[in-house]
Amino acid sequence: PLSTPSTPPKSNTTDKYAFAFDIDGVLIRGGRPIPEAIEAMKVLNGQNVYGVKIPYIFVTNGGGKTEQERCIQLSKQMEIEVSPGQFICGHTPMREMAAKYGTVLVVGGEGEKCRQVAEGYGFKDVVTPGDIIKDNPDTTPFRKLTKEEYDSSRARDFSKTEIEAIFVFADSRDWAGDQQIILDLLLSKRGVLGTRSETFDDGPPVFFSHNDVVWSASHDLTRLGMGALRLSLEAMYKAVTGKELNTTAYGKPQIGTFQFATRLLQQWRKDTHGIDAPPETVYFVGDTPESDIRGTNDFNKTSENTWYSILVRTGVYEQGTKPKFEPKFTADHVLEAVLHGVEREQR
Ligand code: G3P
Ligand code: MG
């Protein structure tokens, strides 16, 4: 041949390592970016002394909106382009449950958003607490639907509906009302509202998208999260029935979430960077020892890849205390965490 085929220019994206980030308390606080986070994203995108680009994904326990919507928001906040292909929130793995259940109750979040998320996952028949209150306002003596809620809620005859499972997708905006409705279902005969089981053991299962008792929002001190609702519900159930309530939580620190994240990262590296082998190291940067550090460390024990935990001081973890779960490294903020990983790789 007259000419040899030209080889594509060598990419300066590293195939050796990658980053995964928690969001609240690491990149964002109360809807506002943590300034060092924007700088950290620049470092990942090649603005570092080595000129190397580093693949990354996001793994948050938060939720309440579609992945698409959350990515648009995060893109603006971090001044980068974030794709749903590199993003997992607490309820993302719940989509695998869509085929298993018929009618489900979805709890939490703003307005109709979580219903839309669940329907987007393929859940066939999604009921919200608003639907139940619209059908029977006596359900929640102290909660009245606003006009907007009333208009968007879908009333039906719940005495003829079997609710097969309960999913808490995002933080409840009305603990009293939502807990009343969940409790009614747990005490019912096979999820039919208005009935009472004699044994209290044929109610629907309850799934939470995560188990964070506290999280880092705009207030200086941590705020109650979904894990607190879970504790409250379990205590209430025990007080009413004398029995233990077993519920299931998704999200970090569950191993399943890290397995899901590993698959996502693999696909992301392949599709976007043409890398078809697992990274040697995944640096996970989080602020909550109980979720982020615990999960990373536990997963590291089971996986062939090395997940490396980094704890930052910008969120739930309080400076000066000993974290319940020991990270491999502690940084003041996410920029220091990223630079630590990059330097460690160049050694
Ligand atoms: O509700 C969200 C919160 O509990 C944690 O979010 O990003 O810190 O995992 P994140
Ligand atoms: Mg966090």
CB 58 within 8 A of CB 82: yes
Residue 113 alpha carbon to ligand 2 centre in Å: 22
ipTM over 0.85: yes
Nearest protein Cα to ligand 1, atom 1: 62
- pLDDT-derived band of residue 68, with 50, 70 and 90 as boundaries? very high
Q: What integer pLDDT is reported at residue 318 of this predicted model?
A: 86
Name 199's Cβ contacts closer than 8 Å, sequence gap at least 6. none
pTM: 0.94
Mean pLDDT of 297-307: 90
Instruction: Measure the CA–CA gap between 248 and 254, rounded to whole angstroms.
Output: 10
Residue 337 alpha carbon to ligand 2 centre in Å: 14
> For ligand 1, what atom is nearest to the CA of residue 286?
8
Q: What integer pLDDT is reported at residue 6 of this predicted model?
A: 53
Residue 190 alpha carbon to ligand 2 centre in Å: 36
Q: What integer pLDDT is reported at residue 198 of this predicted model?
A: 94
> For ligand 1, what atom is nearest to the CA of residue 251?
9
Residue-wise pLDDT tens digits, 73-82: 999 999 999 9
- Helix axis angle for 175-186 and 226-241, nearest 10°, is 50
- pLDDT-derived band of residue 1, with 50, 70 and 90 as boundaries? very low
Q: What percent of the chain has pLDDT over 90?
A: 93
Name 321's Cβ contacts closer than 8 Å, sequence gap at least 6. none
Q: Is the pLDDT of residue 5 over 80?
A: no
- Helix axis angle for 294-302 and 255-273, nearest 10°, is 80
Q: Is the pLDDT of residue 166 over 90?
A: yes
Nearest protein Cα to ligand 1, atom 3: 62
The strand pair at 248-249 and 281-286 is best described as unpaired
Nearest protein Cα to ligand 1, atom 8: 24
CB 192 within 8 A of CB 140: no
Q: What is the residue-averaged pLDDT of the chain? A: 95
Residue 289 alpha carbon to ligand 2 centre in Å: 9
